Amino acid sequence: MTNILVIAHRGASGERPEHTIESYRLAIEEGADYIEPDLVMTRDGVLIARHENEIGGTTDVAQHPEFAERRRTQIIDGETMTGWFTEDFTIAEIKTLRARERLPELRPQNCAFDGRFTVPTFDEIIQLATEANRRRGGAAKIGVYPETKHPAHFTGIGLPLEQAVLDALRRHGYAADGSPVFIQSFDPRNLRQLRGMTRLPLVQLLEHELGDLGEIAKYADAIGIAKVLATPDGVRAAHAVNLKVHVWTFRAENEFLPDDLKIGGSPAALGCLDAEIQRFLGRGIDGFFVDFPAVGVRVRDAYLMEA
Ligand code: G3P
Ligand code: CA
């Protein structure tokens, strides 16, 4: 039977500050098939969910005078970054911080949760999924869709992500063949390395061009592509070499929608996300990342019902 995966992007990040247990919990309640944590590492080798290792934008670290001297500048993957970096903190120190909304101007309602939620470990996120699975009984397991962030940087500082990701999945029963897991990365070297370590499905993330899909198919099982790449021809080309196609990122605010689907003039107002998702489902995609999983599930289910 055809299925199309709804992947909760950073949890239900349109409705809660991203990468928090509360964001993932809401995504599970809303029926997402997979929850997506981006992963970075602490100084003492613990995987935590953050979109990048600089945490000034998504935590209250700047309000902690005891960490003021940790602010620094470094080059990461060719980009100069200034702020506070996860590799300079132990997990105990990270746990003293509280998450903040990344997009306060577009998502002011989420700011009501600023200061309330901690930064979760990858273990805590998989544990949340495991508990939900237990409550569901025999129903499909919640999938886990981790992304390794800045893997070369972390390897370079002696904190490699790869084995830690696999170990965490194994600890929670998510490493067997057929487990609902995809591991994603923008870095092909990282994925090739992982291919030598696991049979779990791997996803090559692509932003600007599809590139040599035949080559990608040698080490990956799917591509995770920006919407601009998800043309009907692009989807067909990927399927021709047995790559699944997952598309990112679907967001309901006008800021992120094409002009014909905006409603009203405010960038923060919600437009017609349903229609945008429907357009892409019609191109034959196999899954999509969405900040509003309830919308994704509703549109996907209606689409499959009519198909
Ligand atoms: O992982 C798919 C998508 O999330 C990639 O973009 O920047 O949101 O991690 P990003
Ligand atoms: Ca991601």
SS3 of 228-297: HHCCHHHHHHHHHCCCEEEEEEECCEHHHCCHHHCCCCCCCCECCHHHHHHHHHCCCCCEEEECCHHHHH
Report yes or no: 179 and 200 within 8 Å, Cβ to Cβ. Answer: yes
Give me ligand 1 centre to Cα 302, in Å: 26
> pLDDT tens across 31-68, in order?
999 999 999 999 999 999 999 999 999 999 999 999 99
Q: What is the pLDDT of residue 139?
A: 79
**Angle subtended by helix axes 188-195 and 162-171, to nearest 10:** 50
Give me ligand 1 centre to Cα 36, in Å: 9
Q: What is the pLDDT of residue 168?
A: 98
CA angle 39, 17, 247 (to 5 degrees): 60
Q: What is the pLDDT along the chain (307 residues), one digit of tens a residue?
A: 679 999 999 999 999 999 999 999 999 999 999 999 999 999 999 999 999 999 999 999 999 999 999 999 999 999 999 999 999 999 999 999 999 999 999 999 999 999 999 999 999 999 999 999 999 887 789 999 999 999 999 999 999 999 999 999 999 999 999 999 999 999 999 999 999 999 999 999 999 999 999 999 999 999 999 999 999 999 999 999 999 999 999 999 999 999 999 999 999 999 999 999 999 999 999 999 999 999 999 999 999 999 8
In whole angstroms, give the CA distance from residue 107 to residue 244.
32
172, exposed or middle or buried, with CB in 10 Å at 0-12, 13-18, 19+?
middle
Report yes or no: 58 and 100 within 8 Å, Cβ to Cβ. Answer: yes
Token pair, residue 204, equals 């090559």
3-state class (DSSP) for residue 128: helix
Residue range 5-52+118-306 in CATH 3.30.70.520: no
Taking only Cα atoms into account, the Rg of the chain, rounded to an integer number of angstroms, comes to: 19
Does ligand 1 have an atom closer than 6 angstroms to the CB of 146?
no
Does ligand 1 have an atom closer than 6 angstroms to the CB of 249?
yes
The amino acid present at 208, given as its one-letter code, is H
How remote is the C-alpha of 157 from its chain's centroid? 23
Which ligand sits nearest to residue 206's alpha carbon? Answer: 1
Pocket-testing residue among 248, 285, 288, 291, ligand 1, by greatest number of atoms within 8 A of Cβ: 248
Give me ligand 2 centre to Cα 122, in Å: 14
